[in-house]
Amino acid sequence: MPYDPDREVDPAKLRTFMERVKVGEPDLYRRAFRRLCSLTGRKIDDPLEAEFDACVAALEQIYWEESGKHKRARRITDKRGRDGTVETFRYLAMKRDPSDGFLHLVDNGLAEFTAEHVVVRYHDRFSAEAVECARRRLADFGIELPREAAVSNMAGVGDQDA
């Protein structure tokens, strides 16, 4: 039976697999990358908290692949510690300019791990202004909105304040 990265629970094995398939099999690489980001080790009841951990894991993996060094996304995790997850995502989505993390993730084809993408997907947890800023940034970069959120927002959902 061929290796299935979607079932792997060992981050080290996923990283080894990713190194082997990155150049020749980009679809397998992306599947393994997404699986790696989902393995944070924390037991989380709130899916938005899990999304935050996956976003941080994605960004830190990109940093590692770019530099070969383990670089932590300290500023953003410290902000979450001070202000909470919703406020941190809102802050990132509403910044005048995209964050460095946003640019790194988008440049690597991982827009679904950006704060903006998460804000649009979880539109009911954020203010209408934050959702609109996130949607605009994604559109400015030619990133397709998540299908579910695009339909929901057209129905008027997402106008609640966080």
Do residues 93 and 129 lie in contact, with contact meaning Cβ atoms separated by under 8 Å?
no
Closest by Cα among 74, 140, 65 to 105: 65
Q: Which residues contact 103 (CB under 8 A, 6 or more apart)?
A: none
CA triple 136-144-48, angle to 5 deg: 80
Closest by Cα among 67, 5, 70 to 39: 5
Encoded tokens for 54: 């996956």
Q: What is the pLDDT along the chain (162 residues), one digit of tens a residue?
A: 688 999 999 988 998 999 899 888 988 988 898 888 888 656 678 889 989 999 999 999 998 888 888 888 889 999 999 999 999 999 999 999 999 999 999 998 899 999 999 999 999 999 999 999 999 999 999 999 886 544 344 333 333 333
Domain ranges across the chain: 1-39, 48-154
Indicate the pTM of the whole model. Answer: 0.79
